[in-house]
Chain A
């Protein structure tokens, strides 16, 4: 049996979940002995490949770019893991949802800016009207809550998945952990 194809990525998050993933420390070598990391901020590949076995996605869906990315990831992933509270609940990025986007731009690029009062529009992703959890956009297989999820729980989840099991996360981590 060949190695498992493992990918990670982030959408609208703070990279904290990935930091927590790195906190598994030398146990990353155990992961690498069973899996190839084929995409993500930890490695240097441009496009999301086909036929990925397990993908961890941090962050919520905030922009048209996030939306395109997650749809592509879903099409090319067997087991999709919603990784952390932003992915699962929209969490902090979702706190803009109480306001229309035009008010947010007004606040960020006019009220709080000393110079260059204008909203950037070219060459950047466009905000969706609201930030939504991943599973409201595509089907998600596993949910790993926490802000960020503790490293030990991440390692447990990865190990179970690499061995073809569905990790039972009941009682192990929670929203806000």
Chain B
């Protein structure tokens, strides 16, 4: 039996909105021009729910909930931008900045970076937590790409695109918490990888200057993401 999609109604930021039962709060919010910041979410990839930028308040639930992984329900009352939410979002961003080394002025992604853009948009002008300044490696062994762990926010977009779209599953995450790291194959140099097809999808979905093309100088690395919704649409059609 074909499942019929049900329309459900809910309230987001005081606005009555509707969506299909299998849509997330984030999707419905965006369809209604309500802005919710995201970092690990990317149209065309499965949801990961890891970055927590997209947290919202749902009436009756004490805890904040990621809107990218929560489906809508009839009668839900959602708030997307209370002072409490903004505080948490800025806190999360601040932690991302302290955990690695983000020196925007010397970064190839300066001016085109989603992390930097979020700081601007959410009014994060400084970071209250002490910076860790970890010594992080840079993998420049690939012919055309560089992985700079100083700039990684562990959003896992590269892992997902490589697995779900390219079908190579070259990238993965090793370790947990603050010691977690993006790896190539079984923690080999990217240039030695037997599985990487060199497609560059990971580079272009990466929100920061962590995965980039070689030969770019400061602020020169612009990412192209248009291919992803397009590929997805074509695959759904066929």
On whether the two chains bind one another, the answer is yes
Binding site for B on A (CB under 8 A): 82, 85, 88-92, 94-95, 97-99, 130, 132-133, 135-136, 140, 143-145, 147, 169-171, 173-176
B-chain residues with CB within 8 Å of residue A171 when the two chains form the complex? 120-121, 123
Contact B121 A92 (CB under 8 A): no
Contact B105 A147 (CB under 8 A): yes
Q: How far is A97 from B127 in the complex, measured between Cα atoms in Å? A: 17
Contact A176 B107 (CB under 8 A): yes
How many residue pairs at the A-B interface have CB separations less than 8 Å? 73
With contacts A95-B103, A97-B133 taken as known, whether A89 is within 8 angstroms of B121 at the C-beta atoms is: no
Contact A94 B119 (CB under 8 A): no
Least distance between B151 CB and chain A CB atoms (Å): 12
Task: List 27 contacting pairs A-B, 8 Å CB cutoff, sorted by A.
Answer: A85-B105, A88-B125, A88-B126, A89-B103, A89-B131, A91-B105, A92-B105, A94-B103, A94-B133, A95-B101, A98-B133, A98-B134, A98-B135, A133-B131, A135-B126, A136-B130, A140-B126, A143-B125, A144-B125, A145-B125, A147-B104, A147-B105, A174-B116, A174-B120, A175-B104, A176-B105, A176-B110
The residue on B at minimum CB distance from A170 is B123
Q: How far is A88 from B106 in the complex, measured between Cα atoms in Å? A: 15
A-chain residues with CB within 8 Å of residue B191 when the two chains form the complex? none
B37 at the interface (CB under 8 A from A): no
Contact A175 B119 (CB under 8 A): yes
Contact A133 B126 (CB under 8 A): yes
Q: How large is the interface on B (under 10, 10 to 19, 20 to 34, 35 or more residues)?
A: 20 to 34
A82 touches which of B126, B128, B130 (Cβ 8 Å)? B126
B41 at the interface (CB under 8 A from A): no
Q: How far is A135 from B130 in the complex, measured between Cα atoms in Å? A: 9
A-chain residues with CB within 8 Å of residue B130 when the two chains form the complex? 132, 136
A85 touches which of B104, B121, B123, B131 (Cβ 8 Å)? B104
B111 at the interface (CB under 8 A from A): yes
Excluding A170-B123, A176-B219, 10 further A-B contacts by CB distance (< 8 Å) are A88-B126, A94-B133, A133-B127, A144-B125, A174-B104, A174-B116, A174-B119, A175-B104, A175-B105, A176-B104
Least distance between B31 CB and chain A CB atoms (Å): 25
Least distance between A160 CB and chain B CB atoms (Å): 14
Contact B103 A92 (CB under 8 A): yes
Give B112-126 as 1s and 0s: 1 = Cβ < 8 Å from A's Cβ atoms: 000011011101011
